[in-house]
Structure 1
Amino acid sequence: MNVKKFTAPTSREALRKVRESLGPDAVILSNRQSDGVVEILALANDDAASLAMPAPHSPMAEPAPSLDLSAPIIARRVEPRFEDELPHMSPPVSAAQPASLQPAAPRRVVAAASAPAPSAPRAATSAPAPQPKAPAIDAQQIAAMVSAAVASAKESAAAEMSGMMSEIRAMRGMMETQLAELSWGATQAREPQKTAVLRQMLAAGFSASLARYLIEKLPAGRDAADSLRWIKTVLARNLQTMANEDALIDQGGVFALVGPTGVGKTTSTAKLAARCVMRHGPEKLALITTDAYRIGAHEQLRIYGKILGVMVHSVKDEADLRIALKELKNKHTVLIDTVGVSQRDQMVTEQVSMLQGAGSDVKRLLCLNATATQETLSEVVRAYQGSGLAGCIMTKLDEAAAIGNALDVVIRHKLNLFYVSNGQRVPEDLHLADPAYLIDRAFKLKRDSVNSQYQDAELPLLMGADLGGFAAAREVHLG
Structure 2
Amino acid sequence: MNVKKFTAPTSREALRKVRESLGPDAVILSNRQIDGGVEILALANDDAASLSVPAPHSPMAEPAPSLDLNTTVPSHHGRTEPRMEPSFPSPTPARQESIQQAQQFQPTLPAQPVRRVVASNASFASATKAAAAPAPAPAKAGLDAEQVAAMVAAAVAGAKQNAAAEMSGMMNEIRAMRGMMETQLAEISWGATQAREPQKAAVLREMLAAGFSASLARYLLDKMPANRDAADSLRWIKTVLTRNLSAMANEDALIDQGGVFALVGPTGVGKTTSTAKLAARCVMRHGPDKLALITTDAYRIGAHEQLRIYGKILGVMVHSVKDEADLRIALKELKNKHTVLIDTVGVSQRDQMVTEQVSMLQGAGSDVKRLLCLNATATQETLNEVVRAYQGSGLAGCIMTKLDEAAAIGNVLDVVIRQKLNLFYVSNGQRVPEDLHLADPAYLIDRAFKLKRDVVNTQYLDAELPMLMSNTHGLREVHLG
What TM-score comes out, normalization by structure 1 length? 0.75
Q: 1:302 & 1:281 partners in 2: Cα distance?
A: 17
**Is there any run of 5+ residues in structure 1 with no aligned partner, and where?**
1-49, 82-109, 118-131
Shift of 1:170: 1.4
Q: Which residue of 2 aligns with 1:373?
A: 379
Q: Which residue of 1 aligns with 2:152?
A: 146
Check 1:147–1:314 CA distance in 2 against 1; reply closer, same or farther (3 A cut). same
Are positions 1:181 and 2:187 aligned together? yes
1:226 counterpart (229, 232, 248): 232
Q: Which residue of 1 aligns with 2:13?
A: 54
Check 1:360–1:56 CA distance in 2 against 1; reply closer, same or farther (3 A cut). closer
Are positions 1:241 and 2:275 aligned together? no
1:419 counterpart (417, 420, 425): 425
Query: Is the CA contact (8 Å cut-off) linking 1:65 and 1:146 kept in structure 2?
Result: no
Task: Please provide the CA RMSD for this pair.
Answer: 2.7
Are positions 1:469 and 2:474 aligned together? yes
Shift of 1:135: 3.6
Q: Which residue of 2 aligns with 1:385?
A: 391
Q: Which residue of 2 aligns with 1:342?
A: 348
Are positions 1:316 and 2:322 aligned together? yes
2:53 counterpart (56, 72, 75): 75
Query: Is the CA contact (8 Å cut-off) linking 2:52 and 2:144 kept in structure 1?
Result: no
What letter corresponds to residue 289 of structure 2 in structure 1? Answer: E
Shift of 1:174: 1.0
Check 1:400–1:174 CA distance in 2 against 1; reply closer, same or farther (3 A cut). same
1:155-174 maps to which residues of 2 (within 5 A)?
155-174=161-180
Q: Which residue of 2 aligns with 1:197?
A: 203
Q: Which residue of 2 aligns with 1:96?
A: none
Shift of 1:202: 0.3
1:252-401 maps to which residues of 2 (within 5 A)?
252-401=258-407
Shift of 1:75: 3.2
Shift of 1:144: 2.0
Q: 2:429 & 2:17 partners in 1: Cα distance?
A: 73
Q: 1:403 & 1:451 partners in 2: Cα distance?
A: 19
Q: 1:146 & 1:340 partners in 2: Cα distance?
A: 60
Q: 2:160 & 2:331 partners in 1: Cα distance?
A: 60
Shift of 1:52: 8.2
Check 1:60–1:317 CA distance in 2 against 1; reply closer, same or farther (3 A cut). farther
1:405 counterpart (404, 411, 421): 411
What letter corresponds to residue 299 of structure 2 in structure 1? Answer: Y
Identical amino acids, percent of aligned pairs:
82
Q: Which residue of 2 aligns with 1:215?
A: 221
Q: Which residue of 1 aligns with 2:480?
A: 478
SS in 1 for 2:13: coil
1:1-12 maps to which residues of 2 (within 5 A)?
none
Q: 1:75 & 1:51 partners in 2: Cα distance?
A: 35
Query: How many aligned residue pairs are there?
Result: 381
**Is there any run of 5+ residues in structure 2 with no aligned partner, and where?**
1-8, 29-44, 60-111, 118-137
Query: Is the CA contact (8 Å cut-off) linking 1:234 and 1:477 kept in structure 2?
Result: no
SS in 2 for 1:393: strand
What letter corresponds to residue 166 of structure 1 in structure 2? Answer: N
Query: Is the CA contact (8 Å cut-off) linking 2:265 and 2:372 kept in structure 1?
Result: yes
Check 1:152–1:77 CA distance in 2 against 1; reply closer, same or farther (3 A cut). closer
Shift of 1:133: 7.2
Check 1:134–1:428 CA distance in 2 against 1; reply closer, same or farther (3 A cut). same
What letter corresponds to residue 250 of structure 1 in structure 2? Answer: D
Shift of 1:55: 2.8
Q: 1:229 & 1:349 partners in 2: Cα distance?
A: 41
What TM-score comes out, normalization by structure 2 length? 0.75
